[in-house]
């Protein structure tokens, strides 16, 4: 009826007080129709990208509202992809294979004049980064190819961030990759996505101890810390790092986690009450929601 397993329901009850079922004389849980409906709505809301820790206390009416609101954002989430985007991706790959940094830079600059920034990031930069990673893992390009591409894309993304002049009182977002994460482009993509939305982006780079990230967040009173996790997907030390980060971050600082390998850490992301973001479209929606909730 709810679409949830017994394990998940118990976890949401215990950790988030999502519902408080009545008890029979033999201490068995007794769920009301209202409890069942709320759990069903919570499941729907989580599926469309909401964090259970942030919505567990909402009423049924509130949950219905945010689910209905999601349907109104589908146009944003299905923004039309230009027909020539695949050819742009192909010529980028060819430039990388030819070690032609100048050509790659020229292609990216031309693309930025033709595409909106969300289209540019979601439909060209992100697929390009993923494709290069796949080619490298398959042995179809050399480490030198990958490093050349990373250098060009890094410089290009930094220029996009710098194009935005945030207001003096703009909320601060810190973007980084935690210790053990050497791939930095994911964290930079977060910054490029956030800057046009009115956030002041502080990009700290890759392989950073969480103590340093938390110290900067505390010093600057950051509203959001966003982490990129790309590889590997089974780092037990990283799980401990994420737990520690949430403990030492200011309570009112939202923690957002994404990246290719982030899906392998969903259990710990849920445990610490962080928000998992699967793509830049959802990131834009989440950042917009945070601004509305914290500044209205």
Would you say 35 and 51 are in contact if contact means Cβ atoms under 8 Å apart? no
Q: Is residue 1 part of a domain?
A: no
pLDDT tens-digit series, residues 261-281: 999 999 999 999 999 998 998
Last residue of a domain, one of 72, 106, 123: 72
Question: Do 193 and 270 have their domain in common?
Answer: yes
Give the model's pLDDT for residue 70: 64
Would you say 38 and 3 are in contact if contact means Cβ atoms under 8 Å apart? no
Read off the CATH number of the domain in which 230 is found.
Answer: 3.40.50.280
Last residue of a domain, one of 161, 186, 202: 161
Model confidence at 144: pLDDT above 90 = yes
| Nearby residues of 296 by Cβ (< 8 Å), 6 or more positions away | none
Give the model's pLDDT for residue 75: 44
Q: Is residue 266 part of a domain?
A: yes
Mean pLDDT of the chain: 89
Residue 17: domain span: 6-72
pLDDT band at 228 (very low <50, low <70, confident <90, very high): very high
Question: Do 62 and 89 have their domain in common?
Answer: no
pLDDT, mean of residues 105-128: 90
pLDDT band at 250 (very low <50, low <70, confident <90, very high): very high
pTM of the predicted protein model = 0.70
Give the model's pLDDT for residue 294: 60
Question: Do 199 and 130 have their domain in common?
Answer: no
Last residue of a domain, one of 133, 161, 189: 161
Question: Do 176 and 267 have their domain in common?
Answer: yes
Of 65-79, 149-163, 280-294, highest mean pLDDT: 149-163
Q: Is residue 78 part of a domain?
A: no
Q: Is residue 58 part of a domain?
A: yes
Question: Do 255 and 187 have their domain in common?
Answer: yes
Pick the more confident residue, 57 or 190. 190
The structural domain count of the chain equals 3
Question: Do 274 and 172 have their domain in common?
Answer: yes
Question: Do 58 and 100 have their domain in common?
Answer: no
Question: Do 16 and 131 have their domain in common?
Answer: no
Would you say 180 and 212 are in contact if contact means Cβ atoms under 8 Å apart? no
Read off the CATH number of the domain in which 48 is found.
Answer: 1.10.1660
pLDDT tens-digit series, residues 27-60: 899 999 999 999 999 988 887 767 787 788 899 9
* CA dist., res. 149 & res. 95, Å (int): 9
Q: Is residue 250 part of a domain?
A: yes
Read off the CATH number of the domain in which 137 is found.
Answer: 1.10.1240.10
Question: Do 191 and 285 have their domain in common?
Answer: yes
Q: Is residue 79 part of a domain?
A: no
Give the model's pLDDT for residue 10: 87
Q: Is residue 80 part of a domain?
A: no
C-beta atoms surrounding 247 within 10 Å: 10
The whole-angstrom distance between residue 74's C-alpha and the CA centroid of its chain comes to: 18
Q: Is residue 77 part of a domain?
A: no
Model confidence at 73: pLDDT above 60 = no
Give the model's pLDDT for residue 173: 98
* CA dist., res. 196 & res. 189, Å (int): 12
pLDDT band at 69 (very low <50, low <70, confident <90, very high): low
Question: Do 281 and 183 have their domain in common?
Answer: yes
Give the model's pLDDT for residue 77: 42
Give the model's pLDDT for residue 152: 97
């Amino acid at each position: 009826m709810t679409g949830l397993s017994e394990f998940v329901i118990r976890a949401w009850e215990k950790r988030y007080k999502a519902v408080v079922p009545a008890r029979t004389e033999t201490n068995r849980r007794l769920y009301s129709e209202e409890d069942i409906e709320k759990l069903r709505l919570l499941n729907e809301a989580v599926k469309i990208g909401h964090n259970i820790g942030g919505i567990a206390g909402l009423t049924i009416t509130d949950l219905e509202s945010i689910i209905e609101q999601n349907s109104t954002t589908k146009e944003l989430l299905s923004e039309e992809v230009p027909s020539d985007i695949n050819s742009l991706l192909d010529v980028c790959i060819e430039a990388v294979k030819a070690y032609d940094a100048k050509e790659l830079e020229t292609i990216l600059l031309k693309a930025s004049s033709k595409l909106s920034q969300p289209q540019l990031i979601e439909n060209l930069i992100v697929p390009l980064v993923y494709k290069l990673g796949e080619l490298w893992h398959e042995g179809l390009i050399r480490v030198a190819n990958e490093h050349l591409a990373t250098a060009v894309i890094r410089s290009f993304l930094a220029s996009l961030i710098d194009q935005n002049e945030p207001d003096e009182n703009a909320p601060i977002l810190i973007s980084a990759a935690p210790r053990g994460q050497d791939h930095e482009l994911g964290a930079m993509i977060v910054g490029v996505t956030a800057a046009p939305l009115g956030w002041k982006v502080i990009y700290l780079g890759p392989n950073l101890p969480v103590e340093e990230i938390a110290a900067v967040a505390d010093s600057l009173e950051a509203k959001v810390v966003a982490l990129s996790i790309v590889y590997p997907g089974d780092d037990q030390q990283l799980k401990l790092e994420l737990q520690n980060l949430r403990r030492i971050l200011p309570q009112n600082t939202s923690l957002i986690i994404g990246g290719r390998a982030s899906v392998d850490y969903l259990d710990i992301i849920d445990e610490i009450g962080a928000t998992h973001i699967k793509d830049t479209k959802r990131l834009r929606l989440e950042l917009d929601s945070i601004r509305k909730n914290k500044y209205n």
